[in-house]
Structure 1
Amino acid sequence: MAGTTTAAAPAAQPKGFRTAELGWPELHRIPHPPHRVPFLGDVVGANRRTPLQDSVRIARRLGPVFRRRAFGKEFVFVWGAPYVADLADETRFAKHVGLGVANLRPVAGDGLFTAYNHEPNWQLAHDVLAPGFSRDAMAGYHRTMLAVTARLTAHWDRALGAGRTVDVPGDMTRLTLETIAGTGFGHDFGSFERDRPHPFVTAMVGTLGYAQRLNSVPAPLAGLLLRSATRRNAADITYLNRTVDGLVRARREAGHDGPGAEGGDLLDRMLRTTHPRTGERLSAENVRRQVITFLVAGHETTSGALSFALHYLARHPQVAARARAEVDRVWGDTAEPGYEQVAKLRYVRRVLDETLRLWPTAPAYAREALGDTVLAGEHPVRTGAWALVLTPMLHRDPDVWGPDAEEFDPDRFDAAAVRARPPHVFKPFGTGARACIGRQFALHEATLVLGLLLRRYELTPDPAYRLRVTERLTLMPDGLRLGLTRRPAAATGPSGR
């Protein structure tokens, strides 16, 4: 859970993206790809559908600090451990809202993820909602997580009985949407009773994809080149707003607390809790924005993490066997593990951490300078200048992770190995005061789900499948399906549940 912030002058707002205004006085010292084309920039070999993976490929050639240009916009990327550690200094750098994140502001506004640093609703919402991610609150959400996972396993049992493989990304999306909707807002989207994704998911994916596409076209031409996509995005936003407004209205009319720990769920806190010092409440508009933020961010990244983890478990049966043995040993024949038992799955947690190392599902975050400074003693930067931390490359830095950094090895997160590494080299949830407020929620949910699935099933990969990654600001395996074998009932708790 992100910590509270100290009072500080608001960070300067972005001045635009023209090179002269980028705020890097010695930009010429930062390498860029060869064969630049006037105005178009570094487009040779680029794929507009996979900009993150393109940037990772370029990073391998150009090193820990590099730049790219597209349509007159210049972007500085950073992934070397010493530079990222410097950017983590909260006295000199802060979150920068730019690129695709800023493109989400029409739907999320000044929600926790998309708010500018100077907007007061960020700190207000953070302080009001932080207790909703305390240990007591998390324990209150645990039973709902168990119930939603039971719906998933019933869904998978039906597929297994019919001899079908399972759609891992689709089903993980159903799972995590129902989990955040149920624990946070007392709502059920009925995802497992549908053959197709819920329209909320379709609209959400549409807004994320549109936000990313805006970065791939010249701003003056976006209205022309993306005319139909812009209309669809407006319809998607209208649907998201209407859905959330109905959810909030139903809670106001019901007049009682939703499920969860003492103090109610996240929606109760948004509607009823005042700031502990100022007495302020969230406005109705901001409540809508926060609900959308949690529904989108609260399930999209976790579903990707679970999908990648299941891919790696299926491809590494020796890892799966070790994780499964831990689950059997720690949980025994308990049908429904308690809240405290989840944290005891230390190896399963390592599997999850190693998955997030290789494929952090929120794969980048931006930092901007609070004042004129020098990055890692090498690169002068002016107030408001910003850089994008390329997390998948930070997590693959061979100087930190070794020559086998591309390999999947959960033992990298053995306690001794973690202590031996420098700080700020593992950042799947961002950094500092604006890091993901729900990261403990996501980690508890994902560890619980992996434990339950490992205890119940053996996973069989498709030998012809090669991992493909789809990008929509977040990352997700594309087309991943797995076969299932039900483990003996004695290994899955009383009555085989």
Structure 2
Amino acid sequence: MDTTGIPHPPRRVPLLGDVRGVSPRTPVQDAIRLGHDLGPIFRRKFLRREIVFVTGAELVGELADESRFAKHVGLGVENLRMIGGDGLFTAYNWEPNWRRAHDILQPAFSLAAMRDYHQTMLDVARELIGCWDARVGGAPVDVAADMTRMTLETIGRTGFGYEFGSFQRDEPHPFVAAMVRVLRYAQQLNFRLPVIGRLREREAARQNAIDVESMNAVVDEVVAARRASGDTSTRDLLGLMLNQVHPDTGEALDPVNIRRQVITFLVAGHETTSGALSFALYYLANHPEVLARAQAEVDEMWGDVADPEPTFKEVTKLRYVRRVLDEALRLWPTAPGFSREAREDTVLGGRYPMRRGDWVIVLIPGLHRDPAVWGPDPDAFDPDRFAPGRARQRPAHAYKPFGTGERACIGRQFAVHEATLVLGLLLHRYHLRSDPAYRLRVAELLTLKPEGFALRLERRRPAAHPVGIGSPGWSTKALSSNTPHGSR
């Protein structure tokens, strides 16, 4: 790509590039800051690699045009091929298993399938509530960790009929522990320096190989359990992969690709949703007026019923709760970027020539903060941005938390329904009290989550006015020793 005229950070370091004031642990947040200073399109150089970022909604509108641009698998996503291979998220556009799997699995995300998943989602949400009830009036809960437990259990049961026992464990399931290390390793591959730290790199690669094998072993156990059961139904994702063929070609998915698809769904199907819920809870706990409106909505729906039995339809009517989720995903889309490559030679924005195969990264948190779309204070948390009248006034390409085009997230409706259900139940049941001294820290492992965010819980009487946030009695001493502290 001809980058002439595209701004870049000043004071480049010879050989290393744009490394001043940035950290390999916070590449997304560093890029957001640079985009704010440099404009709707900018470039960064690291060693010999120069990357172009786009944050302007007008340019993203062009990049979302499927006739001109397609998904590009590169950087962090390409690094995940070590576990995802030609799975739905990490497949190259030319690999046949992407289309084959997409078409076979599409029925798993129909409205009828969503209704079938609802009860299992509710069952898992109740396990989370049972865990949180035991902490009422006691030690704070580690929000991101518990949301991860809940979403992993949900995708395991709904997608594969497999229970991870997430709420019966004191420590995360081994799959999660291995996954976190693999995601960290994949991110750090983008920042390797030549020669320096070769011994440390070899040790990291050795551990990564062990973690990949560990994840494969868990998935092989899931598949083996289904095969041994004799179940040949197509009731869920695994059933479709094992027992369904492509509707047009009659081709089935091969065993290696099935493993890769299962890993893809286990990672993507829980990691991003848990982050979205965690950010939503953070913003609710720090915006009492928003919390009050959201709790009023769930109280109107379920009244003073201690343990409501939400129906599928009732969850879809929690419109303000959904706005809270949408706004949390606007500020911190848990999958923070996607890459687009030119299908043919073209010119982006009328001034940036791109040859066929040239690619750029759409930095979604930057797009979601474009003041031309989101107003003069785009960093402010305001769920009413997603009120119907205001939402209709925005171009569709201005809000892209689930990617774009035919390679966008296939499980979007699954994630939204699960998150709305869980958030509604938590709002109905608890007062959410955060540490008034806590300042949001965002952890980056290719996905984004709040780091060190905890809530102190109290049971509430539905329809009662929510208690103020950060009231006396909060203490951080009860936080478990593995909860991160300090500020970045």
* 8 Å Cα contact 1:244-1:291 kept in structure 2: yes
Deviations 1:427-462 (A, max 9, x none): 000000000000100000000000000000010010
User: Could you say which residue in structure 2 is the equivalent of 1:191?
Assistant: 166
Q: Evaluate the alpha carbon distance shift between residue 487 and residue 319 of structure 1 in structure 2; reply closer, same or farther with a 3 A threshold.
A: same
Which letter does structure 1 place at the counterpart of 2:460? R
Question: Partners of 1:393 and 1:350 in 2: how far apart?
Answer: 20
User: Could you say which residue in structure 2 is the equivalent of 1:168?
Assistant: 143
Counterpart of 1:28 in 2: which secondary structure?
coil
Out of 284, 291, 294, the residue aligned to residue 323 of structure 1 is: 294
User: Could you say which residue in structure 2 is the equivalent of 1:8?
Assistant: none
User: Could you say which residue in structure 1 is the equivalent of 2:79?
Assistant: 103
User: Could you say which residue in structure 2 is the equivalent of 1:421?
Assistant: 394
Counterpart of 1:226 in 2: which secondary structure?
helix
Pair 1:138-2:111 in alignment: no
User: Could you say which residue in structure 1 is the equivalent of 2:310?
Assistant: 337
Q: CA deviation at 1:221?
A: 6.6
Question: Partners of 2:196 and 2:67 in 1: how far apart?
Answer: 39
User: Could you say which residue in structure 1 is the equivalent of 2:11?
Assistant: 35
Q: CA deviation at 1:257?
A: 5.5
Q: CA deviation at 1:102?
A: 0.3
Question: Partners of 1:446 and 1:422 in 2: how far apart?
Answer: 25
Which letter does structure 2 place at the counterpart of 1:171? D
Pair 1:485-2:458 in alignment: yes
Q: CA deviation at 1:125?
A: 0.3
Q: Evaluate the alpha carbon distance shift between residue 422 and residue 478 of structure 1 in structure 2; reply closer, same or farther with a 3 A threshold.
A: same
Pair 1:271-2:242 in alignment: yes
User: Could you say which residue in structure 2 is the equivalent of 1:299?
Assistant: 270
1:65-464 aligned within 5 A? 65-160=41-136, 163-218=138-193, 224-256=199-231, 263-332=234-303, 333=305, 335-464=308-437
Question: Partners of 1:58 and 1:160 in 2: how far apart?
Answer: 42
Which letter does structure 1 place at the counterpart of 2:261? Q
Counterpart of 1:424 in 2: which secondary structure?
helix
Q: CA deviation at 1:45?
A: 1.1
User: Could you say which residue in structure 2 is the equivalent of 1:495?
Assistant: none
Q: CA deviation at 1:224?
A: 4.7
Which letter does structure 2 place at the counterpart of 1:74? E
User: Could you say which residue in structure 2 is the equivalent of 1:12?
Assistant: none
* Runs of at least 5 residues in structure 1 that lack an aligned partner in the other structure: 1-23, 492-497
Q: Evaluate the alpha carbon distance shift between residue 166 and residue 115 of structure 1 in structure 2; reply closer, same or farther with a 3 A threshold.
A: same
Counterpart of 2:313 in 1: which secondary structure?
helix
Deviations 1:337-386 (A, max 9, x none): 11111110010000000000000000000000000001121211000000
Which letter does structure 1 place at the counterpart of 2:297? E
Question: Partners of 1:394 and 1:51 in 2: how far apart?
Answer: 16
Q: Evaluate the alpha carbon distance shift between residue 348 and residue 143 of structure 1 in structure 2; reply closer, same or farther with a 3 A threshold.
A: same
Deviations 1:121-140 (A, max 9, x none): 00000000011000000100
How many equivalent pairs are there?
462
* 8 Å Cα contact 1:257-1:265 kept in structure 2: no
Deviations 1:134-163 (A, max 9, x none): 0000100000000000000000011115x1
Question: Partners of 1:130 and 1:221 in 2: how far apart?
Answer: 46
Q: Evaluate the alpha carbon distance shift between residue 230 and residue 164 of structure 1 in structure 2; reply closer, same or farther with a 3 A threshold.
A: same
Question: Partners of 1:330 and 1:435 in 2: how far apart?
Answer: 32
User: Could you say which residue in structure 2 is the equivalent of 1:61?
Assistant: 37
* Runs of at least 5 residues in structure 2 that lack an aligned partner in the other structure: 465-488
Which letter does structure 2 place at the counterpart of 1:177? L
Question: Partners of 2:148 and 2:119 in 1: how far apart?
Answer: 19
Q: CA deviation at 1:223?
A: 5.6
TM-score normalised over the length of structure 2 = 0.93
Question: Partners of 1:475 and 1:451 in 2: how far apart?
Answer: 22
Q: CA deviation at 1:225?
A: 4.7
Question: Partners of 1:490 and 1:81 in 2: how far apart?
Answer: 40
Q: CA deviation at 1:60?
A: 1.0
Question: Partners of 1:340 and 1:223 in 2: how far apart?
Answer: 56
Question: Partners of 1:219 and 1:356 in 2: how far apart?
Answer: 36
Q: Evaluate the alpha carbon distance shift between residue 390 and residue 189 of structure 1 in structure 2; reply closer, same or farther with a 3 A threshold.
A: same
Question: Partners of 1:298 and 1:220 in 2: how far apart?
Answer: 37
Question: Partners of 2:321 and 2:109 in 1: how far apart?
Answer: 22
Percent identical pairs in the alignment equals: 63
Pair 1:467-2:440 in alignment: yes
Higher mean C-alpha displacement, 119-128 vs 227-236 = 227-236
Question: Partners of 1:220 and 1:107 in 2: how far apart?
Answer: 26
Q: CA deviation at 1:222?
A: 8.0
* 8 Å Cα contact 2:219-2:262 kept in structure 1: yes
* 8 Å Cα contact 2:296-2:463 kept in structure 1: no
TM-score normalised over the length of structure 1 = 0.91
Question: Partners of 1:457 and 1:209 in 2: how far apart?
Answer: 33
Deviations 1:233-253 (A, max 9, x none): 101000000110011011011
Deviations 1:42-101 (A, max 9, x none): 011111110111111111111011000001101000010110000000001000000010
Q: CA deviation at 1:217?
A: 1.0
Question: Partners of 1:324 and 1:285 in 2: how far apart?
Answer: 46
Which letter does structure 2 place at the counterpart of 1:421? R
* 8 Å Cα contact 1:214-1:222 kept in structure 2: no
* 8 Å Cα contact 1:71-1:217 kept in structure 2: no
* 8 Å Cα contact 1:111-1:290 kept in structure 2: yes
Which letter does structure 2 place at the counterpart of 1:328? D
Question: Partners of 1:376 and 1:254 in 2: how far apart?
Answer: 56
Q: Evaluate the alpha carbon distance shift between residue 295 and residue 369 of structure 1 in structure 2; reply closer, same or farther with a 3 A threshold.
A: same
Q: CA deviation at 1:28?
A: 2.1
Counterpart of 2:4 in 1: which secondary structure?
helix
Which letter does structure 1 place at the counterpart of 2:298? V
User: Could you say which residue in structure 1 is the equivalent of 2:467?
Assistant: none
Q: Evaluate the alpha carbon distance shift between residue 490 and residue 73 of structure 1 in structure 2; reply closer, same or farther with a 3 A threshold.
A: closer
User: Could you say which residue in structure 2 is the equivalent of 1:9?
Assistant: none
Q: CA deviation at 1:330?
A: 2.3
Counterpart of 1:46 in 2: which secondary structure?
coil
